[in-house]
Structure 1
């Protein structure tokens, strides 16, 4: 019998019971539900609402139930309970009698459910922050290990200018550093206590919401009971953080996929992060990077689904809000798995510097530096840009690169060209010249790497 059945003369239809049940999803919240109930029961006793004996029986019963769930000896049935909250309360009442039935005094499932969900969101945000740090560590280690390697930098997926591989990898470290901030903000958003708001208007019992706030480790109680039971912004914050980070992982995965192709040949994936083909014996496919890329749509879809669920909901609680947890859980679980997979791929991939350098020697990567050379000698940059464009066109016709041209070829375009123009054609010199803060010169990248490592260490402390 449902805990709300007093007003009804008939039981729920078997289909609607199944349709309305959330137990298959929210049973993951059993630990949070028990923690919330322990705090609520102890607070009721402290306030004189229930006896100390009842509170003691409630706590002992809940501790035993948690042990049985984790030991696999207690399994809930959706035909008996529509959600984990009712399932635990029913089991508690069966075990300890009337004391269990008093637990719900001054409490509604509305504030109970969102309390559990906030506790869950806080924990999952912390878990994701930890996984984020693991991926950043892998990228930082790889950047340090291959610090001086040069590869072509791209715009529009066309060769643009040479950069250090470490510089390229650090771009992802900074993306993930911002992702960590978003996850930390989501954790802070969830860190507020709705317990004691009851259904929507508070309660006539002398509840101490500050006591349960402290007991459950929340930073503060939510000041408005209507907002407390209806707010799911904290889940949107968590899912948005997951979505943005998934987008970043998708970009990283896409580059690893490209770099592992025969056309690029920049890296080789470890066997443990690749698969073969059922028909083509030679294949080594970057399937797990592709899955990271593909799962991004799933995480973003979870966010959009909850946004649409929340759209136009009147205050306060509506059954629509039962749909809040599955997508949030899926987004967090998916991102955590993707973090773990990406960290493994980065840590185990083999880098081929000779292939990177070979590609960096194609595509006229010195062109901008030749234009800068002329501009520094007094030629307006737009004119210098056109002059170098003519030189590139000449190379196209001859089938050569800028470094293959003779000094006379350069002088034919401008008398400003001297023998020292050769310094503008050396890839190492080109890279080393970009010493501005955030640039790709080794001295600048070393500074950046140290800054990224300090940010990583600071985030470890925050976690």
Structure 2
């Protein structure tokens, strides 16, 4: 076995006459290396699996493989910040090669790259990194779901106003409102799980474009790296549409967070006063002594703004290049998207766990307004057999007359309702004052909602149970995915251990 060479030739020097310009190093090499340093453990895992497979298939000798694997294990035990980097040498793949050259020589260390390209090697590293980060986001999403569910359970009977067009519509239940986001977030989890499935395919062995003449065992590296399958067509080894798929799922999560944060932000204003963020998630004003600003909600809404462009930016990166320009087939902003989504889920979990809900204020807001007018219409249809459109006119006129006379809903009598009926339909209803009062009662409104998914008590209880089942399924999915990755890691460690023993 040859010792380390005295003078290493960089990859660029073998073909290019000039070393990298300082500006190229500053704006291209260094940013790329910092991004790849975050994928340190994934780089080493790919090298370990590829080298193990080469030895098992007889492509590398056992002695050569052992020498390489021993050095890779040394690297794996380092902290990413400890690993020596020289930007002049190129990408992280070349940094690891350089380390090997310095310890066991280029003639030995250089054999690790047999049967692969930086194209499929880098794509494999990125897929490993993305799948691990997706699981991190899933964990935060499940924690957030738990906080939502606890608040929904606590407020399963908390009546509040409901709005359409930002105008008073019908009585609502705060727990029911929160459960609507539980359902949305479960859908977002499923989108992320589907994206994970497309990310978790092994491109190693597709090489640069057309495959290789070396008898690689792609199924073996798929097993050792914990992939669910492999990229079948070698042309697609470098494609990054799986990143666009993942970033799309992340965008949906940020849209969910934005909508919830926007509602809570509005409802925490003095004019509404329905909810209040705990002081620990608020800030103050430098000029207005009375201010308590919900800065956590503002932070989440601000972070959600750029998320609407994540997918379009990814697709725009691919656009107009055809499929031949491999250099553009990356989605570099996915790292930031992952970090943003995970961070905002974590922040919002704290907001929800400590959220103050002013139930009395919600209930008081239902007084003096016509929130239950639609229920009055339904009662008239059932009791008098008129069409809903006829009754809609009657109730709308009754509301108009009362508003014009500055009368509250509790001052609407059966006689006043008959006046409106005569004006619009030429009939009297004779519904009775007690029936009118009951029809306009917000509590009674909620109690009488019976359709699946409605705000009725039994339906809210059913939605709570459904949300718990969906959350349990999501948690189990993430747990099983991590268990599969742990088993593949053990298989890789065992395979490496046999070769270096």
Q: TM-score range by the shorter chain?
A: over 0.9
Contact 1:107–1:199 at 8 Å: present in 2 too?
yes
Deviations 1:238-266 (A, max 9, x none): 10001111111000000111111101111
In structure 1, the residue matched to 2:121 is 112
Deviations 1:167-225 (A, max 9, x none): 01101101100000011011101111000111111111111111100000011121111
Distance (Å, rounded) in 1 between the aligned partners of 2:110 and 2:314: 33
In structure 2, the residue matched to 1:337 is 343
Query: Normalising by the residue count of structure 1, what TM-score does the alignment of the two structures yield?
Result: 0.95
Distance (Å, rounded) in 1 between the aligned partners of 2:468 and 2:205: 43
Q: Aligned pair 1:398/2:411, yes or no?
A: no
Counterpart selection for 2:395 from 388, 400, 404: 388
Query: Normalising by the residue count of structure 2, what TM-score does the alignment of the two structures yield?
Result: 0.88
Q: Aligned pair 1:55/2:65, yes or no?
A: yes
Q: Aligned pair 1:64/2:74, yes or no?
A: yes
In structure 1, the residue matched to 2:494 is none
Structure 1 stretch displaced more, 20-29 or 240-249: 20-29
SS at structure 2 position matched to 1:161: strand
Distance (Å, rounded) in 2 between the aligned partners of 1:83 and 1:160: 59
Distance (Å, rounded) in 2 between the aligned partners of 1:302 and 1:48: 44
Aligned structure 1 segments of 4 or more residues deviating by more than 4 angstroms: none
Contact 2:127–2:199 at 8 Å: present in 1 too?
yes
Counterpart selection for 1:275 from 271, 278, 283: 283
Cα–Cα, structure 1 residues 300 and 75, in superposed 2: closer, same or farther, change >3 Å? farther
Aligned length: 458
In structure 2, the residue matched to 1:313 is 321
Q: Give the gaps of 5 or more residues in structure 1.
A: none
Distance (Å, rounded) in 2 between the aligned partners of 1:86 and 1:122: 24
Distance (Å, rounded) in 2 between the aligned partners of 1:329 and 1:421: 59
Deviation at 1:317, TM superposition (A): 5.0
Contact 1:17–1:82 at 8 Å: present in 2 too?
no
Tell me how large the CA RMSD over aligned residues is. 1.5
Deviation at 1:316, TM superposition (A): 4.1
Distance (Å, rounded) in 2 between the aligned partners of 1:2 and 1:316: 26
Deviation at 1:83, TM superposition (A): 2.4
Q: Aligned pair 1:11/2:26, yes or no?
A: no
Distance (Å, rounded) in 1 between the aligned partners of 2:297 and 2:10: 47
Contact 2:266–2:272 at 8 Å: present in 1 too?
yes
In structure 2, the residue matched to 1:210 is 219
Cα–Cα, structure 1 residues 4 and 213, in superposed 2: closer, same or farther, change >3 Å? farther
Q: Aligned pair 1:379/2:386, yes or no?
A: yes
Distance (Å, rounded) in 2 between the aligned partners of 1:304 and 1:8: 36
Q: Aligned pair 1:356/2:359, yes or no?
A: no
Structure 1 stretch displaced more, 174-183 or 283-292: 283-292
Q: Aligned pair 1:235/2:215, yes or no?
A: no
What aligned pairs does 1:239-250 form with structure 2 within 5 A after superposition? 239-250=247-258
What aligned pairs does 1:120-269 form with structure 2 within 5 A after superposition? 120-229=129-238, 231-269=239-277
Cα–Cα, structure 1 residues 9 and 81, in superposed 2: closer, same or farther, change >3 Å? closer
In structure 2, the residue matched to 1:29 is 39
Structure 1 stretch displaced more, 390-399 or 234-243: 390-399
